[in-house]
Structure 1
Amino acid sequence: MGRQGNSSQRNTASASGSGDRTGSGVPRKPSPAVYRRRRMFLGVALLIVAGLVFGGFAMAGAFKGTEQVSATDNPNPGATAAAPAPGGSPSAAPSATPTPTPTPTCNQNLVTVSGSTDKPAYSLDEKPLLSLKVTNGGTMPCEVNIGTSQMEFLVTSGADRIFSSRDCQAKSEDLVKTIAPGASETANFPWAMNRSLEGCQPVAAKPGGGGAYYIFTAKLGSKASPKAVFQLN
């Protein structure tokens, strides 16, 4: 009975350690096939880990690149980029409309009026010729109303208003003319050496001679000439 029990124990020990140990109890070396399987498993594991790491870097780079493109395409975060036309490339932004150059116009401040007489002194039987001259002193043509509605030939002596062409004017008409730069228009009025009143009231008195001085002023609208002095003998 004792031998059978020992034999059973030996068979059990031999069966349990047959893959790892030799009969003397020393661990058995794995076979070459086992080594190959272990190396293949380790290689596959390293490839999987490397792929995960590389994929993580690639994903991070992709998100980073997307942010850069977005910042470049739309530098103004508050602005909305225009969508490209369907089936075509994005159209260029419309260029700003150029500001039109203003057309030069006449400077009415450069239109001047001057008055003159044909002689510096007259006898009482002469008619002084009073001249009104309009000159365009600008660089552009000017339209000027030189009609009788705008003109006045005025003669004074000190504070005494002697004569005005408007007092007995038959017609008041407009006459618009274009005066070229540097050009002039002249209107002449022969004065009969008479006095006048507003409303063309009759005046019996005559201007005095004897060497008295008179002042002629030419007017055109709101413009008045410098004083032109002449003498009645």
Structure 2
Amino acid sequence: MPPEIYWRRRALAIGGAVVVLLLVVWLINSLRGGGDSETDPAAASSSLTTPVSISPTASGSSTSSGGSGGSGGGGGGAAAAGGEASSGTSGSSGASSSGASSSAAPSGQPVAAGQCPDQSLAIKVAADKPTYLPGEEPSFTTVVTNIGTTPCERDLGSSLQQVLVYTIDGAVRLWSNIDCFPQSAADVRTLAAGEQAQFTVKWSAKTSAPDCLTQPEPQRDPVGPGAYTVVGQLGQLRSAPEPFNLS
């Protein structure tokens, strides 16, 4: 066989082998590309985050209402003399069940016909001292202001006002000046625009409960040292809580 024919056949064989090799490589690459284009279902599901079910927190009235305003209004003039008698407070960190109760504030007395509405008044109450020493009786002063532009007539009798003491977080109602003295004479006053009426009550630092008079021997526990808040209420109107301390 002539040498040129031999080398020609040899070149054709090598070229064919190269073509076959290229086809195999192309086929392998296309198969790999097709496999990568789809996501494995198992892998996809495992990567998903399982949703967490969160149950809504109950909007208990105890924390919100006690902390902000409790159920008290300022003690009236009659209660000022014996305001403490109204009741005492239980301990700061853990109020005793004998006197402490839910912080939910009572609805308050409705405004009598012809008297100025709650919207025309502002109420503020505060302890007369930031801190009381052992044996001292805390004293609370309530100020009712006519914030309207015209004279305003309103019954400010002590049975219509309340001064309440709560734990510092507002969760537990400890004392109200009308728990044991719910009745008093009417005290109708006419307040000019911007005029204020001021009342003071004292507290024996013992617990009380709304059913004080129905108990043969009401149990009133001394309050322990700690931080507390006092709140005033007149009708549906409530003051902001003001802090004070028992040492």
State the TM-score, normalized to the length of structure 2: 0.48
- Taking structure 1 as reference, are residues 149 and 229 closer, same or farther at Cα in structure 2, changes over 3 Å only? same
Unaligned runs of 5+ in 1: 1-104
DSSP 3-state at the match of 1:109: helix
Shift in Å, 1:204:
4.4
Sequence identity percentage: 32
Question: In the alignment, is the contact (CA less than 8 A) between 2:116 and 2:154 conserved in 1?
Answer: no
Distance 1:182 1:223 in 2: 17
Distance 1:196 1:106 in 2: 31
* Residue 230, structure 1, aligned to residue 230, structure 2: no
Question: In the alignment, is the contact (CA less than 8 A) between 1:107 and 1:138 conserved in 2?
Answer: no
Q: Pick from 122, 142, 148 the counterpart of residue 112 of structure 1.
A: 122
* Residue 140, structure 1, aligned to residue 122, structure 2: no
Shift in Å, 1:107:
6.5
Distance 1:175 1:226 in 2: 24
Q: Pick from 197, 207, 210 the counterpart of residue 198 of structure 1.
A: 210
Compare relative contact order (CA 8 Å, sep 6+) and give the higher one, 1 or 2.
2
Distance 1:166 1:116 in 2: 17
Question: In the alignment, is the contact (CA less than 8 A) between 1:197 and 1:203 conserved in 2?
Answer: no
Deviations 1:175-201 (A, max 9, x none): 110001111001110111111112214
Unaligned runs of 5+ in 2: 1-114
* 1:208 alignment partner AA: G
Question: In the alignment, is the contact (CA less than 8 A) between 1:156 and 1:162 conserved in 2?
Answer: yes
Deviations 1:49-68 (A, max 9, x none): xxxxxxxxxxxxxxxxxxxx
The number of residues matched between the two structures is 127
* Residue 179, structure 1, aligned to residue 202, structure 2: no
Q: Pick from 207, 211, 220 the counterpart of residue 223 of structure 2.
A: 207
- Taking structure 1 as reference, are residues 143 and 120 closer, same or farther at Cα in structure 2, changes over 3 Å only? same
Shift in Å, 1:170:
5.6
* 1:148 alignment partner AA: S
Instruction: List structure 1 segments (4+ residues) > 6 angstroms apart after TM superposition.
Output: none
Shift in Å, 1:149:
2.6
State the TM-score, normalized to the length of structure 1: 0.51
| RMSD over equivalenced CA pairs, Å | 1.8
